[in-house]
Amino acid sequence: MENKSIWNKYNQAELKKLEKIAEEYRVFISDCKTERECTDRIVELAEKAGFTELSRLTGGKKKLKAGDKVYSVWMNKSICLFTIGKKGFKDGMNILGAHIDSPRIDVKSNPLYESDDFALLDTHYYGGIKKYQWVTIPLALHGVVVKKDGTTVELAIGEDDDDPVFFVSDILIHLAQDQMEKKAAKAVEGEALDLIIGNRPIKIAQADVKGKKVTAKKDAKETAKEAVKAGILDILKREYGFEEEDFLSAELEIVPAGKAREAGFDRSMILGYGQDDRVCAYPSYKAIADLGVIPERTACCILVDKEEIGSVGATGMQSKFFENAVAEVMNLTGEYSELNLRRCLAASCMLSSDVSAGVDPNYESVFEKKNAAFLGRGLVFNKYTGARGKSGSNDANAEYIGHIRSVFAKDDIDFQFAELGKVDAGGGGTIAYILALYGMNVIDSGVAVLNMHSPWEATSKADIYEAYRGYMSFLKGVKL
């Protein structure tokens, strides 16, 4: 069975809507390059769409009813949204789940140092990256610095035209003989990914050491030794209001600088950072926000952190924050009990919305084309993920897949089924297996991506639009 390009199925009105959603998405990933930024933007959009923060309702007399919309944020990095359905929670929910963290480089806790008249930040990469892809490109610094007094400094440096950018250096080709003979995984070592942030030494007469002008000869000598670092510290204090010690309570992420762009002469694609998995996260949010009707079963959208490092920690899918949020919502509808919560989760259905590997015309050999995803051919389903012998995967039930097919057929949703490359080529995982632990039906679905986990990933506008349509169809129609 062969899927074909879906571009020609749209009329002019549908193409106009497709372009509108693609542009909204392009702006979203241009502005939101960290999980905190994604959460903040989703909250902003959700409030405008009529969602109310759950914590405003708990402890009060107001009860939730069918059609009400609420959301819950956890540690500013994960968010759940609910639209209460006509049926009780014992009938389960229809859940869309995606992650909003992406592979990147993180700044270490004691990062700032000077070497060879350069100021640098020491780093530790986050998630699966090809380290050689991150050198010599313009990089931006995003995140928060929390000072001892509790005030938070938010940073997003390198995105505006007037901002400076930063970079990781690479050895010049003329002296790279030894490097060129290494395997790709070793060509650039993790400890060589330190970020260059300055080169200009501060003038001793202008140096500021611990908030005081330099007067003692000893202080002047120390400043002279690391004059570039001192200059950076002076800038950080003057322009951003924090000191070197404040790096201890900072979360700073190094990401590619610049906006996502339309790609191709035909502008059919989007090229940008973080599309794994924000290309699924944004359409998932958009679907629940645009439902327009009261669903039969409660609709839920989960956008979580830490998937790229195993879904661990307080904001990852393995934490209890989602379960706790469901319990709070059920309590506000008068349905909560521990047994009812378990029944609700077991009766729920989920699309674990994560990206799939699109066939790359330059690297066809790693794909088995009959079971591969192609850009521009619609939403992708992965019955199972994992590695080699399906290790670590969620393997969806045939009955569940058959039911989703029937629902999508009614709404003319185009989709394709795929695996993540050839059986022995590698593999990957998602959050699907975690939700499946409750006993609910779960299948992986998402958008095909080229250049996955690279600084600049590529997707098809048509697939983004079809994912949005498919997710909305799922929220309205699935009950097994």
pLDDT in tens, 138-154: 999 999 999 999 999 99
Q: What's the burial of 244, exposed, middle or buried (CB within 10 Å: 0-12/13-18/19+)? A: middle
* Inside any domain, residue 42: yes
Mean pLDDT of 473-478: 88
Crossing angle of helices 12-31 and 35-48, rounded to 10°: 130
Whether residue 96 is found in the same domain as residue 117 = no
pLDDT for the residue 423: 75
Range of the domain at 209: 104-256
Q: Given 201, 221, 256, which residue is the final one in a domain?
A: 256
Question: Which one, of 254, 313, 307, lies nearest residue 124 by Cα?
Answer: 254
Which class for 77: exposed (0-12), middle (13-18), buried (19 or more C-beta within 10 A)?
buried
Mean pLDDT of 401-417: 93
Residues 369 and 447 grouped into a single domain: yes
| Residue 35 shares a structural domain with residue 96 | yes
Q: What is the mean pLDDT of residues 181-185?
A: 94
CATH number at residue 135: 2.30.250.10
Same domain as 174, residue 163: yes
- Looking at the domain assignment, is residue 267 inside a domain? no
d(CA 286, CA 281): 9
How far apart, in whole angstroms, are the C-alpha atoms of residue 312 and residue 309? 7
How many other C-beta atoms lie within 10 A of the C-beta of residue 300?
25
In a domain? residue 181: yes
Q: What is the dihedral of CA 347, 352, 353, 356, to 10 degrees?
A: -140
Phi, psi of 166 (to 5 degrees): -125, 170
Pairing between β-strand 448-449 and β-strand 356-357 as defined by DSSP bridges: parallel
Does 283 share its domain with 420? yes
CA distance 99 to 97: 7
Task: Report the distance separating Cα 283 and Cα 465, nearest Å.
Answer: 8
pLDDT in tens, 326-382: 999 999 999 999 999 999 999 999 999 999 999 999 999 888 889 999 999 999 999
292, 378: one domain: yes
pLDDT of 457 over the 60 cut? yes
User: Are both 90 and 165 inside the same structural domain?
Assistant: no
Domain stops at, among 256, 291, 307: 256
Residue among 302, 313, 436, 460 at smallest CA distance from 375: 460
265 domain-assigned: no
Percentage of the chain with pLDDT > 70? 94
Torsion over CA: 273, 279, 281, 283 (sign): positive
Spatial separation of the C-alpha atoms in residues 26 and 267, rounded to whole Å:
12
* pLDDT digit string, tens, across residues 239-283: 999 999 999 999 999 999 999 999 999 999 999 999 998 999 999
Exposed e or buried b per residue across 199-225, where buried means at least 16 C-beta atoms within 10 angstroms of its C-beta: eebbeeeebbbeeeebeeeebeeebee
Question: How many Å from the N-terminal Cα to the C-terminal Cα in the chain?
Answer: 26
Task: Please report, for the domain that includes residue 345, its CATH number.
Answer: 3.40.630.10
Residue 449: φ, ψ to 5° = -130, 140
Q: Is there a single domain that holds both residue 236 and residue 333?
A: no
61 has a pLDDT exceeding 80: no
Same domain, 144 and 94: no
Work out the mean pLDDT of the chain and round it to a whole number: 92
Is 291 part of any domain? Answer: yes
CA distance linking residue 297 with residue 172, whole number of Å: 59
What is the predicted pLDDT for the residue at 212? 53
* Residues 109 and 168 occupy one common structural domain: yes
Q: How far apart are CA 151 and CA 140, in angstroms?
A: 22
| Joined tokens for residue 380 | 């992708």
pLDDT confidence bin for 214, thresholds 50/70/90: low
Query: What distance lies between CA 394 and its chain's CA centroid?
Result: 21
Share of the chain above pLDDT 90, in %: 85
Looking at 204, 229, 256, which one is the last position of a domain? 256
Number of Cβ atoms within 10 Å of the Cβ of 365:
9
Residue 419 domain-assigned? yes
Kindly state the tokens that stand for 429: 């995982």
**Mean per-residue pLDDT, 202-214:** 58
Return the pLDDT at 429.
74
Res. 206: pLDDT tops 70: no
Which of 464, 466, 472 has its CA nearest to residue 24?
464
Task: Report whether 471 contacts 283 (CB < 8 A).
Answer: yes
- Total count of domains within the chain: 2
pTM: 0.92
- The answer to whether position 446 is within a domain reads yes
* 34: in domain: yes
Q: Under a CB-based contact definition with an 8 Å cutoff, are residues 103 and 127 in contact?
A: yes
Regarding whether 108 and 94 lie in a shared domain, the answer is: no
CA–CA gap between residue 463 and residue 447 (Å, rounded): 6
Residues 322 and 416 in one domain: yes
